[in-house]
Amino acid sequence: MLDLLEKYTPNLLDYSDEFVKSISETLQMLFLSGTYSFIVGLFLGTLLVVTRKGNILENRAVHRILDGVVNLFRSIPFVILITALIPLTKLIVGTFIGVKGTIFPLVVGCTPFFIRQVDMALSDIDNGLIEAAQSMGLSPLGIIFRVYLKESIPALARSTTITTISLLGLTAMGGAVGGGGLGSFVIRYGHNRFYQDITYVSVIVILIFVTIIQFIGNIIIKKTSH
Q: How far is CA 82 from CA 76, 91, 212, in A?
A: 10, 14, 27
Domain boundaries, the chain: 2-224
Instruction: Give residue 49's pLDDT.
Output: 95
CA distance 85 to 101: 10
197 with 9: CB under 8 angstroms?
Answer: yes
185 with 99: CB under 8 angstroms?
Answer: no
CA distance 19 to 90: 27
CA distance 111 to 39: 9
Q: Which CATH class is domain 2-224?
A: mainly alpha
Instruction: Give residue 8's pLDDT.
Output: 65
What are the residue ranges in the chain where pLDDT is below 50?
Answer: none
CA distance 222 to 112: 26
Which amino acid is located at 55 in the chain?
N
Instruction: Give residue 160's pLDDT.
Output: 96
